[in-house]
Structure 1
Amino acid sequence: MAKWKKAGLAVMAAATLAMTAGLAGCGSDSESGASASPTDAAKASPAASVAATATAAADPASSLKPAKLRLVYPGSPQKDQAAVTEEINKYLQKKLNTTLTIESFQWGQWDNKVNLMVASREAVDIMFTAQWSQYAVNAGKGAFLALNDDSGKYGNLLKKQGPDILKSFEEKILKGSQIDGKNYGVPALKEMASQGGIVYRSDIAKELGLEEKIQAVKNISDLIPILETVKAKKPDFTPLFLRDGENFNAHYFANYDYLGDGNIEGVIFKDGEETKVLNRLEQDRYKSTLKITREMFTKDLINKDASTTQLSTNDAMKSGKVFMIVCPLKPGKDTEIASTVGLVGNLKQLALNTKTTATSETAGSMLAVSSTSSDPERAMMVINLLYSDKYLNNLLNFGIEGTHYKKTGDNTVEPSDKTGDYSPGAAWMFGSQFLNYIWKGEPADKWDQFKKFNEGSHYSKGLGFTFDVNEAIKNKVAASITIRKQYDPALDTGSVDPEKVLPEYTAKMKSSAVDEIIAEKQKQFDAYLAKNK
């Protein structure tokens, strides 16, 4: 047990150091690894050389050839994306002689879109990835470049073009997202603990006299009478909005540790002490959750299109006709969502499970450099800026000052009448969140609260381990993922009867050699545990 306490302290220390580094970056104007080189004319004269060096130091973009990059991530397309991208490119041209094309794809389309991009070797430079979004699978396919590979074609990109990234993280955090010693993505700098729960309309709860009952909820079955009241008294409302990936069986709510890519079967419980890798479909926690969710669905408490909808939970809440959503929590999650969806002061959150930390947090949100990138060094420079450049970070996340938000202080902002035209809700994906402005309604000590949130977390026995999808198991993994996509959305949202469908699902997974996948995962995990005693 002592070694896991030690690991936990390391993560907590990392978060503290990360916050310090992120806040220190707020006042800097780092040139982010863009080194200047003398021009040919300067080489002819010492005086000219001094002048050229001074000019290059002041304007690092002058020493770089033009680059056009493409960034892709999951999220709702924004009405003012073109205007924001134009401002981003004005800035990046001055900083790095670079322009970006920024594309977001609806959450419901994201997995398929990534699969197509990877399979067709589509030209992409910077791509969002995560443990739960086929990170290990796509890294195994060669979709991402190893960023810390001294012997690679581009050398160690993190050391050469990512100095501000390295300053922001304690080494153990970067190691926690590695696959076989290689970083194929840069983790977002944010909360390093996970807790699942609900976010609900507090104004409606107050109107219907439900606030006290909600605060007394201990498990998801306790939500049923509350949701029934909403349905009866607000028939035009959706009591509970669920979707694929955002439901009571999501890893952050059920506390599954997939020991790597969240699409690959075989789990341990993050809130437990056991190291035996289990078949999720056979666990009581999974089965009981399906049963309760099905009851909610048959009582019309859940949106009928839950298994197929492409709406994000934020977009659903933005409609003004949704009472409750399921989501991963952190300090101020309710006020953050409220600012994004135009419900400031009308949302509250409630945690419903144990706070945990696992590789799903250290690798839960990352930016990767695609192996199809036209300029990996420049892509790394752009990612690096998101950990040090406050202006660029907030421009990408919140849009144009004076248009999409109003500043009320050095580090505080409030919504404008145009906030809804650019609210991607993706700050947790891009660089350091500690560079983000504090929004109206959020506590002034928000980032201190994040540090405290990381303390006292239960550390999974799998922290730091990532399953390697090797050649022997790769095809079996691919087959099992296809089956999961067929069954998980409908089962997890209550859209089908688990009594009838789960046996069929279990049988198909068995036929796809899920037991062999679990055995290989156990073998690798045992070796990792033995090595890290």
Structure 2
Amino acid sequence: MKRFFCLILIFALSAGCAHQQQASTKEGEVLELDWLIPLHTPQPPKDKALKIIEEKTNTKLRLIWVPDSTKEERINTTLAGGSMPKIITLPNLEDSAVVNALRSGMFWEIGPYLKDYPNLKHLDKTILKNISVDGKVYGIYRERPLARQGVVIRKDWLDNLGLDMPETADDIYQIAKAFTKQDPDQNGKDDTIGLADRNDLTFGAFKTLASYFGAPNEWGTAQDGSLFPDFKSGAYKETMKYMKRFYDEGLMNRDFAVTSKTQQQELFIQGKAGIYIGAMSDAMNLRDQGLGLNSDFQIDIINRIKGPDGREHTWALGGHGGMFAISKSSVKTEEEVKKILAFFDRIAEEDLNNLMLYGIEGVHYEKKGDDGYFRKQENYHLWETEIQPLNQLIGVNKQSLKSAEDPLRAKNERLEEDNRSIAVLNPAEPLYSAVQTARGTELKKIIDDAAFQFILGEIDEKGFDQAVGKWEKQGGGEMIRELNEDRQHQK
């Protein structure tokens, strides 16, 4: 008994007091973990920070870095081959090979264990539901902002015209009209438009505007509890009409249906458009590039926009970028599963979470006050090579420090958190449809094409309804049936 308490004390001193009861490794025993993980940077990280993680978690990490461009192929090959690392990153939970692997018992179900860990027991229930398969949790989610959409706008243009930040969907229209007609950059030329948009109805302006109008997020729930696609809602059609008004009046780029994200952002950066609707986190890059061309370039962001009903909504993502799953073929015992979960619980502690996000204090960043930080710009290249790749190891993302050097970044972080209270969830996020997995992209194109055609004036509402009928006949009706059946199965 005395030896037991000594071991607990040793672990607490080396790894923090919040997780001492979770240290299931014996004194001196190193947990060896091989882990397949995507690489979003040109090179894997140098060892400096990685060694700190290993020391504080008593592990030996063998990270199998896979370039982001080939990750899905590598993951599918690994799943098919049968020989897997202990931990595998599964970024796309809609991939049929991934779904089949999870359903076939290739990974440990960890849901029942989470309550035993001081950090993991607080995992967000909404996100856990979103990553579940048949109601079971098979991994630690890779946390992402649940709802990040909003409006990025040229603040200097608003000031030049004596306008306030928008509060309603109609305000956005009126500002777009003023930006198009009233020379907001005061150069004496008719060379500006209101809205810059692109060929993406999801991450461009359309879906965010639709959420302001009260549209469901991908799928809605009828009064009888059944699911229906968002484009069958009245709010979806009202959004199409709203955007058609922008197009007809020349308040947006005429070629938006074939405009890429890069081209859309260039319109904003170059001072040709003053409104950008999408991820608010894009604002910092837009600001930095805009200032490189124009020292008067000022922007602001807002997340809460009232729709016609006076209510505020924004659509939510799943809150995750996939998950980390524990392989049954490589991890044979429940005891080792618990050790791996203790590792994930430990790296969710503030010290290691901060390390993987911001780096080493005094080297990559400095603290300001209790919860502020600013990067050491002279060592930014070190952050890129030593820390940035380690972002991919983060499951629970506490973001305990806030930017003290960039008010816009700090505001974005605050508004993303505020969005959670007005977020519209996708009720079909945790559900499975074979048709959706196999042909979802193909079927989505039918509706997207029709929506673009409506906005461009090539078809009317009747033509859009005909496209919906085509979607139903070519597999959409079966998708609805499968999702509703899976929903009933999971109740």
One-letter amino acid of the structure 1 residue matched with residue 51 of structure 2: K
Amino acid in the other structure paired with 2:203: E
Alignment partner for residue 69 of structure 1, among 28, 35, 55? 35
In the other structure, the counterpart of 2:401 is 437
Deviation at residue 338 of structure 1 after TM alignment: 8.2
Q: 1:140 aligns with which of 99, 107, 120?
A: 99
5 Å-filtered alignment, 1:205-284, equals: 205-206=158-159, 208-209=160-161, 211-212=163-164, 214-215=166-167, 217-218=169-170, 221-229=173-181, 233=185, 235=191, 239-242=195-198, 244=200, 245-250=202-207, 253-254=210-211, 257=216, 267-268=219-220, 275-284=225-234
Name the SS of the counterpart of 1:413 in structure 2. Answer: strand
Cα contact 2:303–2:415 (8 A) shared by 1? no
Q: Report the alpha carbon displacement of residue 439 of structure 1 after superposing the two structures with TM.
A: 0.7
Query: What amino acid maps onto 1:280 in structure 2?
Result: D
**Aligned equivalents of 2:66, 2:454: Cα separation in 1:** 32
Counterpart Cα distance in 2 of 1:127 and 1:226: 48
Aligned partner (choices 367, 371, 374) of residue 414 of structure 1: 374
8 Å contact 2:95–2:437 — kept in the other structure? no
Distance 1:375 1:323 in 2: 54
Unaligned runs of 5+ in 2: 1-14, 292-296, 332-336
Change (3 A) 1:439 1:195: closer
Instruction: Write out aligned runs for 1:67-146 (5 A).
Output: 67-72=33-38, 77-78=40-41, 82=44, 84=45, 86-94=47-55, 95=57, 96-100=59-63, 105=68, 116-117=73-74, 119-121=76-78, 125-127=87-89, 129=91, 135=94, 139-142=98-101, 144=102
CA distance in structure 1 between the partners assigned to 2:261 and 2:252 by the alignment: 19
**Normalising by structure 2, what TM-score?**
0.65
Q: Measured at CA, do residues 322 and 145 of structure 1 come closer, stay the same or move farther in structure 2, by a change above 3 Å?
A: farther
- Superposed displacement of residue 509, structure 1: 1.7
TM-score normalised by L of structure 1 = 0.61
Flag the 1:33–1:306 CA change in 2: closer, same or farther, 3 A. Answer: farther
Mapped contact 1:408–1:414 kept (Cα < 8 A)? yes
CA separation of 1:399 and 1:337: change in aligned 2, threshold 3 A? farther
Q: Structure 2: how far apart are the matches of 1:523 and 1:198? A: 37
Of the structure 1 ranges 391-400 and 300-309, higher mean CA displacement relative to structure 2 is found in 300-309
SS of 2:236's equivalent in the other structure is: helix
Return the match for 1:182 from 113, 125, 136. 136
Q: Does residue 1:199 correspond to 2:162, yes or no?
A: no
- Amino acid in the other structure paired with 1:201: R
Q: Deviations over 1:374-420 (max 9, x none)?
A: 967587566444422x2432343345555654432343112443659
Write out per-residue CA displacement over residues 491-533 of structure 1, whole angstroms, 9 at most, x where no aligned residue: 56999656288467435423322112213333444676xx5xx
Deviation at residue 97 of structure 1 after TM alignment: 1.0
Q: SS in structure 2 opposite 1:92?
A: helix
Counterpart of 1:287 in structure 2 is 237
Any conservation in 1 of the 2:149–2:277 contact (CA below 8 Å)?
yes
For 2:48 and 2:450, locate their aligned partners in 1 and report how far apart those are by CA, in whole Å.
Answer: 42
Separation in structure 2 between the aligned mates of residue 120 and residue 199 of structure 1, nearest angstrom: 41
Distance 1:253-1:180 versus aligned 2 partners, 3 A rule: same
Post-superposition Cα deviations, 1:85-143, rounded to whole Å, max 9, x if no partner, equal 544422233232114355674xxx7xxx66545554477854364xxx6548565332x
SS at match of 1:214: coil
Aligned length: 439
1:468 to 428, 432, 437: 432
- Pairing 1:368–2:328 present: no
d(CA) in 1 for partners of 2:22, 2:264: 37
SS at 2:204 equivalent: coil
Higher-Rg structure is 2
Contact 1:69–1:379, Cα closer than 8 Å, also in 2: no
Give the match's secondary structure for 2:369: coil
What is the rounded CA distance, in whole Å, between the counterparts of 1:201 and 1:100 in structure 2? Answer: 43
Unaligned 5+ segments in structure 1 are 1-25, 38-52, 57-61
Deviations 1:12-46 (CA, angstroms, capped at 9, x unpaired): xxxxxxxxxxxxxx975757956323xxxxxxxxx
What whole-Å deviation, never above 9, does each CA across 1:413-454 have from its counterpart, x for those lacking one?
Answer: 124436598597998994334343111237999999988765
Q: 1:93 to 1:196 in 2, by over 3 A?
A: closer
3-state SS in 2 of match to 1:91: helix
Identity %: 14
